[in-house]
Amino acid sequence: MSAPHGHPAVAMLLVLDVGNTNTVLGVFAKTANDDDLSPLRYEHLLANWRVATIATQTVDEYGVLFRNLFAMEKIEVKGIGGIVISSVVPPLDSTLRQVCERYFHTKPLFIEPGVKTGMPVLYDNPAEVGADRIVNSVAAFEKFGGPCVVVDFGTATTFDCVSAKGEYQGGVISPGIGISADALFEKTARLPRVDIRKPVRVIGSTTVGSLQSGLYYGYLGLVDGILERLLDEMGEEVTVIATGGLAGLIGTGSKYIKHVDDLLTLEGLRIIWERNTATKPGRDFSPSNSSTASPVPSARPWSGRKPRSR
């Protein structure tokens, strides 16, 4: 088969980031014109999608959804040689595992304690850290170096701090702007539900405008207020990266966010997959015939190889 834009794909990697509200999927490919003697690297993002996370959907419903998405981009299911999943919705894990095995004939690699990430975790209990937070931190450090902070605008908004040595230090979790908007609508009798957008003026001249101003500028104040304190505490020149569904909306208005990267989580999943790949020159890898899904001996469950010096 041929990948879009004239790239003849020899192998593809499906990455899934399963959040409480949305699931983001991406397909990476290695092309045939790469050096066959080099380790297998999936560097070409062929397509990506954002769909609603529905915990009640069956294996077949998810299977049909994924196949339809592939068909729209003319990507053949049989080309998938590996699947890696980051999930914060445990009830869906079994369903997605069956989808991968039934529709893609591949056992997925779930990002969980024991998987090699290349990033030591300094949390008091590393197993408490959400998989998506580790994935984002790995990608941010790989792309931008450290120290850095990743702000992920999802159902909750998370702030994740990475040291100059590439250590996951911890961070902050706050309610997402969507939760704030829903609470305002549900707890008031006369206020309508509104779209979350940046208003033209701070002073609203209508109820809708006033609500939008309060949501946008109120949340922007929350984000910048937390970032100001984080940057002071980290004590160094820190790079701040935003990702997630509303990263573009809030991130572009922030005093501290310097980069907006909608694909950061997908890149992190690809990076972690490759770090768990026991490759041989010119050969593909699947966790179905590898021991990498087993816990890696380590003092901390999320730890992997030592971080690069910066």
Helix (H, G, I), strand (E, B) or coil at 210: helix
Query: Exactly one of 35, 60, 124, 132 is catalytic; which is it?
Result: 132
CB atoms within 10 A of CB 186: 9
Helix (H, G, I), strand (E, B) or coil at 209: helix
Q: Is 191 exposed, middle or buried (0-12, 13-18, 19+ CB in 10 A)?
A: middle
Q: Is 135 exposed, middle or buried (0-12, 13-18, 19+ CB in 10 A)?
A: buried
Encoded tokens for 201: 């003026």
132 counts as catalytic: yes
DSSP letters of 23-84? EEEEEEEEETTS-TTSPP---EEEEEEEEE--TT--HHHHHHHHHHHHHHTT--GGGEEEEE
- The CA-atom distances, in angstroms, between 37 and each of 29, 41, 103, 119, 278 are 16, 11, 30, 27, 14
CB atoms within 10 A of CB 190: 5
Contact 161, 147 (CB under 8 A): yes
- Phi, psi torsion values for 114, nearest 5 degrees: 110, -20
Cα–Cα distance for residue pair 147/59, rounded to 1 Å: 41
Residue in this structure with the two tokens 């706050």, named with its chain if needed: 174
- Enumerate the active-site residues: 132
